[in-house]
Chain A
Amino acid sequence: MTTLQTVFARAKADDRAALIGYLPAGFPTKDGAIAAAAAMVDAGCDVIEIGLPYSDPLMDGPTIQDAVHRSLTNGTRIADVLRTVEGVAKTGAATLVMTYWNPIDRYGADRFARALADAGGVGTITPDLTPEEAEPWREASAGAGIDTVFLVAPSSPESRIKAVVGCCTGFVYAASLMGVTGARESVGEAAQGLVERTRLQTDMPVCVGLGVGTGKQAAEVARYADGVIVGSAFIRRLLDAPDEASGLAAVRELGAELAAGVRR
């Protein structure tokens, strides 16, 4: 099992940023998600975030909403998410689950943390869990030995950044812009400033997500961040592909472009 700490140490030694890819479990199909994640790893992703599909993804833009909707329509359950994590972890990538809080809350925090660790997962990203409500999850995660990643945003004042990084282990997720997930023409101008403000509060790696979709953008973000997070752009390749094989090829191609970007 590759830990986040190993990933960031290795990237640092190579003098590059880590590449983090996101894909919801069960999309395009249950097995297809494992194959697509494996292709992402093959192409150069160091970390994979497996999304736990949720009926009310209020932080997600149309691309991820679409993928998540298809996944839920495919009947994806938490057991499938865990099976996906297991499959992806075997590729050697550090594997996280990205999920809204309610599915964990309902499943049971301790039970979910243990199940995720057993599947080879190394942690979670929880976009709607703020420091005030995070205690039960932090305890459960510490008990299971997995990392907890939370988000800071361009709107976060110093006091909030301090509170959020105090809850993070592994890395800090810096949202590049005020908005939902989805590839954009340009990465938010606020991103670099947010990373700098976050670094004043922590020595932990700071990774940037939201709006990154090209090698050029990855290179730009890699200049100031420890990791570059890409989700919707991978999903878009799969949504637009006429069949699974060409989808995987497109994912591989994008992965290679981004991997080159973080090494520029």
Chain B
Amino acid sequence: MTATDGTLLTPADLAGNGVHGDDPDVHGKFGVFGGRYVPEALIPALDEVAAEYEKARNDAGFLREFDHLLRTYAGRPTTLTEVPRFAEQAGGARIILKREDLTHTGAHKINNVLGQALLTKRLGKTRVIAETGAGQHGVATATAAALMGLECVIYMGAVDCERQALNVARMKLLGATVVPVTNGSQTLKDAINEAFRDWVANVDRTHYLFGTIAGPHPFPEIVRDFARIIGVEARRQMLELTGRLPDAVAAAVGGGSNAIGIFHAFIGDEGVQLHGYEAGGRGLETGEHALTLTEGSIGVLHGSRTYVLQDEEGQTIESHSISAGLDYPGVGPEHAWLKDTGRASYHGITDAEAMDAFSLLARTEGIIPAIESSHALAGALKLGREMGPEATILVNLSGRGDKDMGTAMKYFNL
């Protein structure tokens, strides 16, 4: 089967257990990570979502519908693009991009929201709520809600509303209500708190359309499975294009959904290194970063046991990144597990390194990436220099940079 005919998805593609046997256990644990640390009031709703998802993932009708939307609405499969001029800065290694930036709405987030919006309808709910950092998940959710006729409320930190004003306007145009969150650090983590507060009060008719692979079980599993198409396609396309698997896969990690999306299909391929790149912000020594996996410690945040940026008494430390989408002091529990088992490794990329890669890709290849994805690009440049000219590196270009023009104008004095 080639990447362009037949169906995109089989039940095995969606369900991790059909492929590699690494679904979380019955309590939603990946090793010691994950689980559910939430008010008891939400447990029945989480059980309901988990049970409905279990039915959906094994239902040929659901898969057909999801597949159809991915193909005819999201624009899948997305292509691979080799970037030789960019790769000249990577010691001659081959760099190949998975072009999630070319999906409808401009980022990989559309994959998850279409799956969860279908799930919302199966649950018989008429309203979706979501958190958003950069605004990409909010835009994607508002898009899916418009498509399916669902009421939509998006919680967004007031600070993020300001730095991603364009996305706020997009969400409003799509018919969503955007609620600026003014408590705490006024960023993604506080938007998540506020969305949970809404959910517990309105759970009867509302689905919390969670945007990343963090949060209480079953969100880490569901979001992963809906994002998994990225790696399923890319693996097939790499074999077609190069005749073999890549030596390494690189992706940016905030909450971790685009990274798990491209990593997951390669987990069983022992020869393929998996590298996640977190936001190093202004640098480790400044304390202004989002180096959750590389510098954080194990704790509980937003309902899940995982790595967290926290002080010695368990108070969350505010993260920093030039990229709103990576500005999060927690991370999905499956990444915590992949880190501790050694299957994947995680590194920091500073704001400056990411912005260099951002402009380099634009100038050498005519592609303006999201600043989030630029962390993966910067990582690939380093990785190429380490691995040598024989190496082939697959990079998840998780989103496009249109939304980041305000930041770029300021940063580069454009």
Binding site for B on A (CB under 8 A): 54-59, 61-62, 65, 69, 72, 77-78, 101-107, 127-130, 132-133, 150-157, 160, 164, 175, 178-180
Q: Determine if A179 and B35 form an interchain contact, defined as CB atoms under 8 angstroms apart.
A: no
Q: Determine if A156 and B44 form an interchain contact, defined as CB atoms under 8 angstroms apart.
A: yes
| Shortest distance between the CB of B143 and any CB in chain A (Å) | 27
Specify which of A58, A150, A178 is in contact with B196 (CB 8 Å cutoff): A58
Q: Determine if B203 and A56 form an interchain contact, defined as CB atoms under 8 angstroms apart.
A: no
Given the contacts A65-B183, A106-B310, A157-B44, A178 and B316 also touching, CB distance less than 8 Å: no
Cβ contacts under 8 Å, A157 to chain B: 44
- Which residue in chain A gives the minimum CB-CB distance to B318? A55
Specify which of A104, A106, A130, A180 is in contact with B40 (CB 8 Å cutoff): A130
Q: Does B235 contact A (CB under 8 A)?
A: no
Cβ contacts under 8 Å, B192 to chain A: 58
Q: List 29 A-B contacts (CB under 8 A).
A: A55-B315, A55-B316, A56-B184, A56-B189, A56-B193, A56-B302, A57-B193, A58-B196, A59-B197, A101-B300, A102-B314, A103-B313, A103-B314, A105-B299, A105-B300, A128-B37, A130-B43, A133-B36, A133-B37, A150-B40, A153-B40, A156-B44, A160-B43, A160-B44, A175-B39, A178-B201, A179-B200, A180-B197, A180-B200
Q: Determine if A106 and B197 form an interchain contact, defined as CB atoms under 8 angstroms apart.
A: no
Specify which of B35, B39, B200 is in contact with A133 (CB 8 Å cutoff): B35
- Which residue in chain B gives the minimum CB-CB distance to A81? B313
Cβ contacts under 8 Å, B313 to chain A: 77-78, 103, 106-107
Cβ contacts under 8 Å, B193 to chain A: 56-58
Specify which of A54, A128, A150, A155 is in contact with B314 (CB 8 Å cutoff): A54
Q: Does B168 contact A (CB under 8 A)?
A: no
Q: Determine if A152 and B312 form an interchain contact, defined as CB atoms under 8 angstroms apart.
A: no
Cβ contacts under 8 Å, B183 to chain A: 62, 65, 69
Cβ contacts under 8 Å, B297 to chain A: 106
Q: Determine if A178 and B37 form an interchain contact, defined as CB atoms under 8 angstroms apart.
A: no
Q: Complex: how many Å from CA A61 to CA B39?
A: 14
| Shortest distance between the CB of B393 and any CB in chain A (Å) | 36
Given the contacts A56-B184, A58-B196, A69-B184, A130 and B299 also touching, CB distance less than 8 Å: no
Q: Determine if B45 and A155 form an interchain contact, defined as CB atoms under 8 angstroms apart.
A: yes
Binding site for A on B (CB under 8 A): 27, 35-45, 183-184, 189-190, 192-193, 196-197, 200-201, 203-204, 297, 299-303, 308, 310, 312-316
Known: A69-B183, A107-B313. 10 other contacts (CB 8 A): A54-B314, A54-B315, A102-B301, A102-B314, A103-B314, A129-B37, A132-B36, A151-B40, A155-B43, A156-B43
Query: DSSP class of B's interface residues: helix, strand, loop or mixed?
Result: mixed
Cβ contacts under 8 Å, A180 to chain B: 197, 200-201
Q: Determine if A107 and B200 form an interchain contact, defined as CB atoms under 8 angstroms apart.
A: no
Specify which of A128, A150, A154 is in contact with B38 (CB 8 Å cutoff): A128
- Which residue in chain A gives the minimum CB-CB distance to B183? A65
Q: Complex: how many Å from CA A62 to CA B193?
A: 12
Cβ contacts under 8 Å, B39 to chain A: 58-59, 127-128, 151, 153, 175
Q: Determine if A178 and B44 form an interchain contact, defined as CB atoms under 8 angstroms apart.
A: no
- Which residue in chain A gives the minimum CB-CB distance to B204? A178
| Shortest distance between the CB of A182 and any CB in chain B (Å) | 10
Q: Complex: how many Å from CA A180 to CA B39?
A: 10
| Shortest distance between the CB of A128 and any CB in chain B (Å) | 5
Q: Complex: how many Å from CA A247 to CA B37?
A: 35
Q: Determine if B41 and A106 form an interchain contact, defined as CB atoms under 8 angstroms apart.
A: no
Specify which of A78, A101, A156, A164 is in contact with B37 (CB 8 Å cutoff): A101
Q: Complex: how many Å from CA A65 to CA B297?
A: 25
Q: Determine if B300 and A130 form an interchain contact, defined as CB atoms under 8 angstroms apart.
A: no
Q: Complex: how many Å from CA A155 to CA B44?
A: 7
Cβ contacts under 8 Å, A58 to chain B: 38-39, 192-193, 196-197, 302
Q: Determine if B200 and A178 form an interchain contact, defined as CB atoms under 8 angstroms apart.
A: yes
Cβ contacts under 8 Å, B303 to chain A: 128
Cβ contacts under 8 Å, B315 to chain A: 54-55, 72, 103
Q: Determine if B44 and A106 form an interchain contact, defined as CB atoms under 8 angstroms apart.
A: no
| Shortest distance between the CB of A153 and any CB in chain B (Å) | 3
Cβ contacts under 8 Å, A128 to chain B: 37-39, 300, 303
Going nearest first, the 10 A-B pairs with the smallest beta carbon separation are A106-B314, A153-B41, A103-B314, A179-B201, A102-B314, A55-B316, A102-B300, A58-B193, A55-B315, A58-B196
